[in-house]
Structure 1
Amino acid sequence: MLRNAPVSSGALPSPLDIVTPTSATPPTFLSTFLNDNPYFQAGFGLMALGVGLTALRQGVVIGTTTLRRRMLVTLEINNKDKAYEWFLAWMSHQNTLQTSKSRLLTPLTRSHQLSVETTVEQRKNGSSSALFKLVAGPGTHYVQYKGAWMQVKRERETRSMQLMSGIPWETVTLTTLSRDRRLFPELLTEARDLAMRGQEGKLVIHTAWGIEWRPFGQPRLKRPLQSVVLAPGLAENIEYDVKAFLDRRQWYADRGIPYRRGYLLHGPPGSGKTSFIQALAGNLSYDICLLNLSERGLADDKLFHLLSNAPERSFILIEDIDAAFNKRVQTSEDGYQSSITFSGFLNALDGVASGEERIIFMTTNHVEKLDSALIRPGRVDLIEKIDDATAEQATILFDRFYGEQGTQDSLVKEFSTTLSNIVKEEMANGRRVSMAALQGLFIRNEAGDAVTKCRDLFTPKPS
C-alpha cells in the first residue's frame, strides 16, 4: 500500500513508503474466553481446571481398578497358615530344579531376593548340625505355572509382631489373570504333596515354639519296632493298648469319657524308653511332639494351648517328668524356676479345659519321686517298667547284630550262649548292664571281642 504523497515519475518508492500488510486472524473462542473472561482471570477458572484434571485422574484410577478386578485375581496366604511354608518350600524346590536343569516344562524365573531358613539340631552327646534352606525373600517374584504367569509378592510387617512367638507377620500374595484362578488349588495341592512326600515314611519331631508346634530338624527315618528289644511281652502289651485306644473313639464318645490316654514308662537310663516310643510312633505312622516343661517363658496358659492344639496323629512326649516337678516345684538345671505350676500341669492333663484326642507319653528314671496326684488313673492310664538288660534281651540283640554279618551259625550260637551265661551270672551278683551299653559294645567290636569285653560294662545295681 502506497502513501498518498506524490511520487515523481521514474523513481522507485522508498522502503519507508511501503507498509507490509498484516494477516488479520480472527480470535478463537478459547483465547477470547481466557483473555476477556473476568472470572477466569480472577482464579475461578484455574480452580475449575484443577478440579477437572483431578476428576479425570480419579476416573483413570477407578477405571484401572475396575479393569484389574475384572481381569486379575489375587490369593493371600499369611504365615499363620500351613500353606505358607508349603508354598515357600515349593518355590525353593522349583528354583533348585531350574538351577540343575537347563529346561523345564513349567519354568520359574529365578529369584534374586532370597531368605535363608536355618535349622539347628542339637544332639544329646553335645554335637550339633545346621541345615540351610534358601527361599524367596520379601519382594516381588514371577513364576510360570502350567503356562500361566503369576506375580508372587512376599511382604513382611516389621512394625508389629505376633504376640506369643515374636515373629513378624508375613503374607504371600499371588496374582494372575482371572481366567487362571483354577490353578490356585492345583498349585497349593502340589505344594502340599511335595511337603508330605518329604515326610513320607519318616518320623517328624515337633517342638514348642511359643504357642505353636513346629517341626524340629529334618524328618527322620522310622525305626523298626523290632529294633528295640524289651523284655518279653512288654512291647506287645504297650502296642496293643495304644491300638485298642485308637480303635475305640466312638466307644469313648458313647459313654461320655474324654478321649485321651496317658502312659508312663519308667526305668534306669539307657533301657530304651525313648527309643521304644519313637519306634512305636513310626510303626503307627504318628509324629512326636517333644514338650520341655523347663523351657523359659512357658506358662500355664501356653501349656493349655499346646496340649489342646497338638498336630493330628502325634504323641506328646514329656521326658524326665520327675525332674520337671520335684516336690511340686519346677526348676531347671540352672536354678531358673518356671512359671508352670504343678496344679496347672495337672489341669492341662485332665482338667475341664484340657484337650481331647490326645496320647501323652511320660518317662522317668525315678518313679518313686513322682507325686501320686500325677500318676493316678485318668492322667496316667498305663504304667510300665523298662528295666536293664536281661539274658534273653542280650541274646536277642546279639543275634540281630552278628547273625546277619556272615559269621558262622555255630560261632554265633556259641558266643550267644556265653553272653547269656555272663549276664545271668552278673545279675545274680547284683550287677546290671543297660541295653544302650550293650548296643554300643556290639557296634564297636566283632562277635568274639564283644563277648570278651561285656563284663566290663556291668555296674552295681543302685540301692
Structure 2
Amino acid sequence: MMCATTTRAIPFDACALDGVDVANSTFLRVSSKDKSYRLILAYVANHLASTSDHRSFEVRTGKKKTQRSNLDDSSDGEEGASIVLAGFGLHTFTWQYHTLQCLRQSVGKPVGTYQNVVRFENIVLVTRHLNAETTLHSFVDAVVAAAEATSNGFFSIYRWSFCDGSWTEVQTHQRRPLDSVVLPRQMKESLIDDVEDFLTDNCRAFYAAHGIPYKRGYLFHGVPGSGKTSLIQAIATHCNRNVCMLQITHPNLNDTYLRSILDELPPRSVLVLEDIDAAFTRDRKPKMENSGLTFSGLLNALDGLEFQDGHILVMTTNFRHQLDDALIRNGRIDVQVEFSYTTSDQMADMFLQFYPSETRERGRDFATALVTALCPDRRLTTARLQHYFVTHRRSTADEAIANVGAWPKRWMFAEAG
C-alpha cells in the first residue's frame, strides 16, 4: 500500500524550496511508513544531478550486502556494510531523462510511543512542470520494482522491524537453485508442481470466479536440520519472489498489529512464520507471558482481507503434534510437507552435489558405506551430512567414500562426551 499523495497544494514550508517556481510545479508526498521511502532516499543519494549543491547524507549500517540497482548500471553490487541515504533538505537528482527534486523534511515534534521516540518525517518529490503526476508516480513505481526484483542472481530477505514499524530488508542472498536442495525427489517435485500451479493465471482466475481468497499455505514440519529453510529459499528463487520473516512471538505483537503487518506485506512475497509451535499451546494459550496476540487474533489475521493478494505462506515447526488443529486446517494450510532424516537416495544425491563429475553408481557406493557405518538407532540429518562434505572439502571422491565409514563414530563419540 503506497502512502503517496500527489498535490497542487504546498506540503512544505515554502522557504524549503527557495528558487523553485512552486506555482508551476507538481508535488508528490511520500510517508516515511511507505515501503518506497528508504528506496527513494537511496536512489536519490546515488543519482544527484551535477547542478545539485546539496550534500546531506545519512548512513544506515547492518546490511549484509549492497544490492545492484536494476534502474541502471551505476552500482557495483559489491559486498558492503552500509547504505547511503539522502539526508534532510532539498536534493536535485536525475531519473531517466527527467531532472527531479526531493525534499526530505521533519513533520512536527518528536513523539513518544510504547516502543521508542519517533520523529515523523516525509519526502516531497518535485517536478518543475504542471500536471506531471504520472512522471512522479512512475519514478516511485520504478524504484520499488527494482528493489523487489530478484534478478541479477539475488533475492531479498525482509524482517518486520518492531522499532521502525515497517518491513526492512535485512539480507540479500544468492538465488538458490532447486537442484541444490537435496530432498526426496517425489516430495520436492510434488511441492514445486503445487506452487507453480497456484501461481498460474488460470488458478488466479479460478479463485476469483469462486470467491476464494487467492493465497496458498504450507506447513513444513519435521526434524531440525532437514532442509526446511533451504527449501523456502529455493521456492522464493524459483518463483521470483522475496522472503518475509515475521517473529510471531515478539512481545509487542497483538491482534491489531498483526493485521496491520500483513496489510503492509510487500507484493510477491513468501511469508514465513518460523517455529509456529512457540506461539500457542494446543489448548490455545499463549506460551509467552504477557503476550498481546491471541489465538483467535492469529487465525483472523491469516483469514482476513489483508492476506489475499497471491501471497505464499509457510509455517515451520519441529513439533507438529503441538499445533492446534484449527491453525492447520484446510484453507489456512493447504499442503503439509514432512521433513525426515536423510534417506540413502539423498546421501547419494548429496555426494553427487559435491562431486558432480562422479557417476550415480559412485553415489550409491558412498550411501552404502555410510548406511553400513550408522548404528541402527542413529539417523542422519541433511545438515549433518552437509557438514561432512564441508569438513572434507579437500578430499577426493575416493577419499570421501573411504573415510565416511569412520565418521559416524567420531560425531557420536563427540555427542556422548
- Residue 159 of structure 2 is matched in structure 1 by 207
Structure scoring higher RCO (CA < 8 A, sep ≥ 6) equals: 2
Counterpart of 1:229 (choices 182, 196, 206) is 182
Tell me, yes or no, if the aligned pair for 1:265 and 1:384 is still in contact at 8 Å. yes
Whole-angstrom distance in 2 between the partners of 1:197 and 1:383: 28
**What SS does structure 2 have at the residue aligned with 1:442?**
helix
Matched residue, 2:321: 368
Partner of 2:52: 109
Match of 2:307?
Answer: 355
The aligned residue for residue 171 of structure 1 is 122
Q: Deviations over 1:221-259 (max 9, x none)?
A: 110011001113011111111222223122122223332
Q: Secondary structure at the match of 2:383?
A: helix
Query: Which amino acid letter does the alignment assign opposite residue 424 of structure 1?
Result: V
- Listed as ranges, the matches of 1:213-292 within 5 Å are 213-247=166-200, 248-292=203-247
5+ residue gaps, structure 1: 1-60, 96-105, 122-128
Distance 1:281 1:292, change over 3 A: same
SS in 1 for 2:369: helix
Do the aligned partners of 1:347 and 1:354 also contact (CA within 8 Å) in 2?
Answer: no
Look up the SS of the partner of 1:234 in the other structure: helix
SS in 2 for 1:204: strand
CA-CA distance at 1:215 after TM superposition? 3.2
Secondary structure of the equivalent of 2:229? Answer: helix
SS in 2 for 1:306: helix
In structure 1, C-alpha distance between the alignment counterparts of 2:128 and 2:306, rounded to whole Å: 46
Deviation at 1:73, TM superposition (A): 4.5
SS at match of 1:140: strand
Larger helix percent:
1
Structure 1 counterpart of 2:278, one-letter code: A
What is the TM-score of this pair, normalised by structure 2?
A: 0.76
Q: Secondary structure at the match of 1:239?
A: helix
Q: What is the match of residue 331 of structure 1? A: 287
> Aligned to 1:159, what secondary structure does the other structure show?
coil
For the aligned residue pairs, the C-alpha RMSD in angstroms reads: 3.5
Q: C-alpha distance in 2, partners of 1:71/1:294?
A: 51
Using a 3 Å threshold, how does the CA distance of structure 1 residues 138 and 308 change in structure 2: closer, same or farther?
closer
Q: Distance in 2 between matches of 1:147 and 1:214?
A: 31
Question: Which of 409, 421, 439 pairs up with 2:386?
Answer: 439
* Equivalent residue number for residue 378 of structure 1: 331
Counterpart selection for 2:265 from 310, 316, 322:
310
Q: 1:71 Cα shift?
A: 4.5
SS in 2 for 1:178: coil
What is the Cα deviation at residue 164 of structure 1?
Answer: 8.9
CA deviation map 1:404-454 (0-9, x unaligned)? 4xxxx48x955x344211343356712101101111110121241452443
Aligned counterparts of 1:398 and 1:203: Cα–Cα separation in 2: 27
Q: Calculate percent identity across the aligned residue pairs.
A: 30
TM-score w.r.t. the length of structure 1 is 0.69
SS at match of 1:429: coil
Deviation at 1:188, TM superposition (A): 4.5
Provide the C-alpha distance between the structure 2 equivalents of 1:80 and 1:162, rounded to a whole number of angstroms: 16
1:131 aligns to what? 81
Corresponding residue number in structure 1 for 2:344: 391
Cα distance between partner residues in 2 of 1:146 and 1:238: 41
Tell me how far apart the structure 2 counterparts of residues 196 and 348 of structure 1 sit (CA, whole Å).
24
Among 81, 92, 115, the residue aligned to 2:45: 92
> In 1, distance between residues paired with 2:326 and 2:244?
24
Give the 3-state SS of the residue equivalent to 2:248 in structure 1. Answer: coil
Task: Render the CA deviation track for 1:59-115: whole Å, top value 9, x for unaligned.
Answer: xx9xxx9x94544444433323444323211122225xxxxxxxxxx5253643221
Give the match's secondary structure for 1:304. Answer: helix
Q: Given that residues 143 and 149 in structure 1 are in contact (C-alpha distance below 8 angstroms), is that contact kept between their aligned partners in structure 2?
A: yes
CA shift in 2, pair 1:452/1:108, >3 Å = farther
Structure 2 runs not aligned, ≥5 long: 1-13, 65-78
Paired position in structure 1 for 2:252: 297
CA–CA distance in structure 1, aligned partners of residues 113 and 181 of structure 2:
42
3-state SS in 1 of match to 2:307: coil
The CA distance in 2 between the partners of 1:303 and 1:204, in whole Å, is 22
Secondary structure of 1:172's aligned partner: strand
In 1, the alpha carbon distance for the partners of 2:237 and 2:218 equals 17
Contact preservation (8 Å) 1:229, 1:396: yes
Q: Deviations over 1:329-370 (max 9, x none)?
A: 3335xxx442111122122223x6563233211111111222
Aligned counterparts of 2:131 and 2:98: Cα–Cα separation in 1: 7
Who wins on radius of gyration, i.e. which is larger? 1
> Which residue number in structure 2 is paired with residue 140 of structure 1?
90
